[in-house]
Amino acid sequence: MRWQIGIDIGGTFTDVIAMQPATGLLRTAKVSSRTDDPLAALLNALDAVDVPWTEVQDLMHGTTMVTNAIVENNLSKVALVATEGFGDTVAIGRQNRRYLYRLDLPAKADPTVHESLRFEVRERMDHKGQVLVEMSEQSVTELVEAIRTAGADSIAVSLLHSYANGSHEKQLGEQLKTITANVSLSHQVSPEAREYERTNTTVLNAGVMPMVRDYLDRLEEAKPSDSQLHLFHSAGGMASPSALRDQPLGLAMSGPAAGVTAASRVAAELKLDHALSFDMGGTTTDTCLITNGHAEIRSDRSLAEHPIRQPMVAVDAIGAGGGSIAWMDTGTLRVGPKSAGAFPGPACYGRGGTEATVSDANLVLGYLDHSQPLGGFLQLDRDAAVQALLPLANAMVISVEAVAHGILRVATANMVRALRKVTVERGVDGRHCALIAYGGAGPMHAVEVSRAFGISKIVVPASSSMFSALGCVSASMSYSRQQTVRMASGQWNTEQLSTTRDSLISQLSAPIIEAGHDDKPLTIKEVAGVRYSGQSYAVEIQNPALDDPQALGLAFREVHEQLYGFSTDEPWELATLRTTVSLPRTEHLTNADQDRDAAPAKPHSSNLCYFDGQSVMTPRYSRDELVTNQTISGPAIVEDESSTIVIIPKSTLTVDPSGHLVIDIAEDK
Amino acid sequence: MSAVDPVTLEVIRNALSAIAEEMTGVVMRSARSPLLREAGDLSSALTDADGNLISQGRDIPMHMGVMSFTVKEFLKRIPKEQLQPGDVWFLNLPEVGGNHLPDVKAIRPIFVNDEILAFSVSLAHWADTGGAVPGSYVPFATDAWMEGLRISPLRVFTAQGTDREKLEMILSNVRSSDEREGDIMAQMAATRSADLRFQELCEEHSAEVVTNAIIALHNRAEAQMRAALKELPDGVYKGEDFLDDDGSPGCQPIAIRVTVKVSGDAATFDFSASDDAAIGPINTTPFIAGASVFYVVKALLGPDIQPNGGCYRPLTVITRPGSVLEPPLSSPVVGGNHETSQRIADAVFLALESAVPDQLTAGGPTTSGLLLFGGEREDGAWTTLYETHGGGEGARAHRDGASVIRVHMSNVMNTPAEVIEAEYPLRVETQRLREGSGGKGAHQGGEGLHREYRILTDKLSLTTMFERRVIPPYGLKGGENGAPFSVHIQKADGESFEMPGKANRWLKRNDLVIVDTCGGGGYGEAE
């Protein structure tokens, strides 16, 4: 009886879900993360669900290792090779400054490669991939010697227009491997035009390569030979360790991507046209637009101010979380952007925090339970929360409960403003979206945020408190890459295009076939980026008719009209092609443990909670006692081991057959 | 008026900002031209019924002045009684709360219960507004009419729909009219979304509460600004800086002079001693002077003060009619928007040097470094590359200046070499830091940029609009000046010459344009 295991190693907690498909058994656990030794955290997680590694068929694993290395600027020493005349591109960047009004702070981040490690080679391509200046063997030999002398742990190669012709980069790569095996070539990491973004992406890939390769080596060594290992990548799928050895930057958004992928599956299962994922943590809230069960994937996102030109789930972080601090600012009550973080954390955690936070407000209003330890181990201190809120109450001359309510209203207003921006920028009316809430604090605020935004349907999915781990265990193995093409509608070359397509497909299929899945049919998905000649933004066309430019042009004009309200018959071009190759998974996630004939759960206790300034005796339920089709009318609180769902008055919760909690908000305007 | 509680005030403040942010989103998503959709050269704002700024969608310091004055000036010409629900008025006259012709504003009155409670304003930089050259930057313009189409307040949309006659009048006077029509529609749509959202806000909180909240927010920003000004020692401070020239033959440097009087929690900025209006297009408007003053005060004293009508109250900005900052209405102004605005900021910074010790940044690339390449592509299409060039930031008391960056009034990005080569008949031969251009000092000025463009077509028009060529970025406290900005042309036939800062030339195949942007000034004496 072999197991499928999903493990999400976060900054604080490691979540694990174990599934045994043959029996339908499902086990979950939460253990502390160990940033110094991720492998130890992984072994702890397996222990916690009592599954020995030898009984694991597939272990699927998300990690914040790469994210943290980039955010904390903990990167290896990288040497960069650029086309002669372009070595400074990483220092020039896009010439814009970070802060409009902060003269005191550094206007630009330091270049990712120091001047002494920037090398140039004489060669030149044009944008069509034609060689303008050959690269001589002698110049390559000299370059290799110069880098060997300078010393580097990892090497990034980014030559001008290599997305159109990577031959010079390949040639260089062969020679540079005599210095170190850690070589990243830009046309393989990010085959897209825009030299600064491609170069920086390649440098980051090189910067995390030694660390990731080392970790993968240790994992491979530790794992039993007949157990398969997969890692979760930023675009929402599984990748094999061997593929990640060359593309370690693919893990940049591993953790959030896993959660968003699980949310997409829930959206697909419930047939939600538009949904917003809503993952609220201690300092930020992550959100992503999901359309027809597919999370938005983009190749123009940034992490810690670094542009990363690789396909990633388009998660937006809102600067508001449970630890956000409330303060008076010239007559207004503000919440954030300062956060009490994980340490000292909110005042109610009793670890020395004294400032009022969103979590303290939740405790004062009775939503959080101070009689039960949070997550099973953290006893909340209501008095400390009240003390933290008192100065604000005195300043505003209102009660502590009224301040708490005010803090939540303001935090909600911040989030609504951010959600509106995220949706309007994509041409979607956010009020027609469903909210899929998960993570520690997401379900607690989901109803209030939805009411303020005008959303009427909320889903708190099954296993919401370890949703990223669930995303891991339920994802399919997939690889994707975006390539610059630039083919004008008037100069269509089907043959050239099919060479590009075949090459992308074979590169992306290789790791799946290598992992032993050569017998199963692979799913190939293509997305074309099409634009009018002279435009800079491309419109995405799903499943484009690449053999038929007339049909593609028609589809393009239709989508353009839909998005922008107009279209014309002007010439257009295929700017980019994004290809995803995946191995479909068929298993459904259902909890076989559920007793369908059980009587509806009764509340285990009740306490006074405050809603809109009124105190109401509010029943509390345990989530694991709820049964299918049970409905609960607000006000009520539903708790599981690590999150609390607040059901405000006039809203109704229903348990669906898959264990998802669906909350409907009555229109009361 | 009854007081609005601190929570409701913050909730409404967020909602008002969200309305303006949504306007920006609407324009960027639906506008036609890349200048709006990619570079985002646009601004959105809500004002109260009297035209005082309530909130804005995105901070472009240069557009601040416009947003704060446009509706007020508009109302002086078009009284409220003439306005109807559903109206959208377009205008670009510099003297009507404006800056230069390419920045076109769309204004919509927002009626709640038959009364105007607010206006939404969408400002967009049109890639062309007619005039003598494509892109409407005419370096040799000597009067306002050479610069392109002048739109006095014009009601282009009403509740009944589009007034085609007026729209056609505009479109027949600008290049690439399809693109312009798309931009106009986008601006109209943005003002409409603000209207809807403002109505919703009033339904939720009542019009009275929203109106009271707006008054409270103005008062709050005023209080923040007064508190910030109190930090400045009382006194009279003088500063000056010079524009290189206005592009006309034999033009000498043009002085921008300011006398700042700080008294308690208020300050006056008097620019009367600045030079007379120029012949060429570096004149600007009092509104831009206001924008520049506000930028400096905010950057020095209160980066977090929310820009709205209230924070202007303690500031008085005086310009002299007939001067370069309040020229005759017949004067050309296109370059003043991003060149003279920067020089005004420099002069105010320098004036305040002794009042805010150790807080000043040495001189930097206070110029757009603008080069406009207009040429024919291989496929016969005519394209214009509008490229700004950053330079070295000035050093500060505690750090070196950054290399190749935009400072103060603007923050527009560069165009990557790989995009330029694919889209325009140009090859970028090199782009590197201009080593040694930063002024030496205890802290070093940032390095400028060295970029070379090879012309790959038979005939190409080059327009320049940049500064700091003659008068370099200044060092502070004994730090050296940065190297000045220069553009050289190396002709294919061997001839070479330096390009003036405001000029237009025709270039040929294989000519080389060599750009060396200015370095930043150093801070403190070098060891």
- Write out B32-86 in H/E/C secondary structure: CCHHHHCCCCEEEEEEECCCCEEEECCCCHHHHHHHHHHHHHHHHHCCHHHCCCC
Tell me how far apart the alpha carbons of residues A589 and A591 are, in angstroms, rounded to a whole number: 7
**Cβ-defined contact of B418 to A127 (cutoff 8 Å):** yes
**Cβ-defined contact of B414 to A92 (cutoff 8 Å):** yes
Alpha-carbon Rg for chain A in angstroms:
26
pLDDT average, residue stretch B214-241: 95
Nearest-CA distance A21 → chain B (Å): 46
Torsion-angle region of residue A264: left (phi > 0), alpha (psi -120 to 50) or beta?
A: alpha
Residues above pLDDT 90, as percent of chain B: 79
Q: Residue A346 in 3-state DSSP?
A: coil
**Cβ-defined contact of B14 to A417 (cutoff 8 Å):** yes
Name the pLDDT band for A540 (thresholds 50, 70, 90).
Answer: confident
Does the pLDDT of residue A413 top 70, yes or no?
yes
Does the pLDDT of residue A592 top 50, yes or no?
no
Residues of B in contact with A320 (CB under 8 A): none
Query: So what's the pLDDT on residue A470?
Result: 86
Q: What is the ipTM of this complex?
A: 0.92
> Which residue carries 């070589």 as its tokens?
A183
Substitution target in A103, A566, A667, A668 with the highest count of B β-carbons within 10 Å is A103
Query: So what's the pLDDT on residue A152?
Result: 95
CA neighbours within 13 Å on the CB side: how many for A522? 24
**Cβ-defined contact of A102 to B413 (cutoff 8 Å):** no
Window 531-560 of A: residues touching B by CB (8 A cutoff) are 533-537
pLDDT average, residue stretch A157-171: 96
The string of pLDDT tens digits covering residues B371-417 is 999 876 666 666 778 899 999 999 999 999 999 999 999 888 899 99
> Which residue carries 């999901």 as its tokens?
A290
Does the pLDDT of residue A158 top 50, yes or no?
yes
Report helix angle A254-269 to A467-474, nearest 10: 70
Name the pLDDT band for A669 (thresholds 50, 70, 90).
Answer: very low
Query: So what's the pLDDT on residue A372?
Result: 76
Tell me how far apart the alpha carbons of residues A408 and A448 are, in angstroms, rounded to a whole number: 9
Question: Which two structure tokens, joined as six digits, stand for A165?
Answer: 């012709």
Query: So what's the pLDDT on residue A567?
Result: 73
Substitution target in A89, A90, A92 with the highest count of B β-carbons within 10 Å is A92
Question: Which two structure tokens, joined as six digits, stand for A585?
Answer: 């998974």
Tell me how far apart the alpha carbons of residues B515 and B495 are, in angstroms, rounded to a whole number: 17
**Cβ-defined contact of B422 to A127 (cutoff 8 Å):** yes
Residues above pLDDT 70, as percent of chain A: 95
Alpha-carbon Rg for chain B in angstroms:
23
**Cβ-defined contact of A97 to B407 (cutoff 8 Å):** yes
Is the bond preceding residue A635 a cis peptide, omega within 30 degrees?
Answer: yes
Tell me how far apart the alpha carbons of residues A379 and A469 are, in angstroms, rounded to a whole number: 26
Name the pLDDT band for B342 (thresholds 50, 70, 90).
Answer: very high
Q: How far is CA A345 from CA A327, A367, A371, A466, in A?
A: 16, 18, 19, 21
Tell me how far apart the alpha carbons of residues A323 and A488 are, in angstroms, rounded to a whole number: 51
Least confident of A337-346, B71-80, B366-375: A337-346
Q: At residue A318, what is the residue type?
A: I
Closest CA to B169 of B154, B190, B182, B147: B154
Name the pLDDT band for A177 (thresholds 50, 70, 90).
Answer: very high
pLDDT average, residue stretch B466-477: 97
Nearest-CA distance A570 → chain B (Å): 11
Name the pLDDT band for B179 (thresholds 50, 70, 90).
Answer: confident
Specify which of A270-279, A448-457, B420-429, B467-476 reaches the highest per-range mean pLDDT. B467-476
Query: So what's the pLDDT on residue A251?
Result: 94
Is the bond preceding residue B357 a cis peptide, omega within 30 degrees?
Answer: no
CB burial class (10 A; 0-12, 13-18, 19+) of residue B450? buried
CB burial class (10 A; 0-12, 13-18, 19+) of residue A597? exposed
Q: Do the beta carbons of residue B478 and residue B525 sit within 8 Å?
A: yes
Does the pLDDT of residue B1 top 70, yes or no?
no
Of A92, A99, A197, the CB nearest to B449: A92
pLDDT average, residue stretch A542-568: 84
Higher model confidence: residue A511 or residue A86? A86
Does the pLDDT of residue A293 top 60, yes or no?
yes
Does the pLDDT of residue A174 top 50, yes or no?
yes
Q: Do the beta carbons of residue B169 and residue B312 sit within 8 Å?
A: no
Average pLDDT score over chain A: 89
List of residues 6+ apart from A284 with CB closer than 8 A: A317, A318, A319, A320, A321
Least confident of A524-533, A587-596, A602-611, B181-190: A587-596
The string of pLDDT tens digits covering residues A349-394 is 888 889 999 999 999 999 998 887 776 667 889 999 999 999 999 9
Residues of B in contact with A533 (CB under 8 A): 379, 381
Residue of chain A nearest B226, judged by CA positions: A330
Tell me how far apart the alpha carbons of residues A495 and B462 are, in angstroms, rounded to a whole number: 39
Name the pLDDT band for A343 (thresholds 50, 70, 90).
Answer: confident
Within an 8 Å CB–CB cutoff, is residue A451 touching chain B? no
Residues of A in contact with B57 (CB under 8 A): none
Tell me how far apart the alpha carbons of residues B254 and B276 are, in angstroms, rounded to a whole number: 8
Closest CA to A518 of A506, A501, A502: A506
Tell me how far apart the alpha carbons of residues A467 and A447 are, in angstroms, rounded to a whole number: 19
The string of pLDDT tens digits covering residues B236-256 is 999 999 999 999 999 999 999
Query: So what's the pLDDT on residue A135?
Result: 97
Within an 8 Å CB–CB cutoff, is residue B206 touching chain A? no
Of B18, B38, B361, the CB nearest to A536: B38
**Cβ-defined contact of B359 to A103 (cutoff 8 Å):** yes
DSSP structure string for A390-402: HHHHHHHTS-HHH
Least confident of B193-197, B256-260, B408-412: B408-412
Residues of B in contact with A333 (CB under 8 A): 6-7, 9-10
The string of pLDDT tens digits covering residues A461-508 is 988 888 888 888 877 778 888 888 889 988 999 999 999 999 889 988
pLDDT average, residue stretch A430-457: 91
Q: How many CB atoms lie within 10 A of CB B124?
A: 26
pLDDT average, residue stretch B424-430: 94
Query: So what's the pLDDT on residue A68?
Result: 86
The string of pLDDT tens digits covering residues B142-158 is 999 999 999 999 999 99
The string of pLDDT tens digits covering residues B125-141 is 998 899 888 788 999 99
